[in-house]
Amino acid sequence: MQPTDLPAPVNRLSCPNCGNDNDFYEIAEDAVITTHYIQNQDGSFTPLEDDSQVHGDIKLICGQCQADLSIFYQRFSEMLF
């Protein structure tokens, strides 16, 4: 079996405006992002952990035409692994 023989996933999101099914942005309004860093011996910093608290709306935006795809946000969030 070749990779081209596999069926296309039926659950892919695509922008109804431009057809984009690859690039998306998640925009959180009124968010607090806390990141814990350690400083390395050379003076650089390495993040250890981060925590985000969103107090406002979250939008899903098409990365090609910038259409608001927030109606698909629940589906998008269910597919984050």
> What is the Cα–Cα distance from 40 to 77, expressed in whole angstroms?
34
Phi/psi of residue 2, nearest 5 degrees = -95, 155
Per-residue model confidence (pLDDT) at position 34: 96
Gyration radius from the chain CA atoms: 18
**pLDDT-derived band at 49, boundaries 50, 70, 90:** very high
**Tens-place pLDDT, residues 53-75:** 999 999 999 999 999 999 999 98
**Tens-place pLDDT, residues 5-43:** 666 667 789 999 999 999 999 999 999 999 999 999 999
> What is the Cα–Cα distance from 24 to 40, expressed in whole angstroms?
34
57 forms beta bridges with none
Q: Quote the tokens at residue 39.
A: 């400083």
- Residue 29 in contact with residue 70, Cβ under 8 Å? no
Per-residue model confidence (pLDDT) at position 42: 96
User: What global pTM score does this model have?
Assistant: 0.70
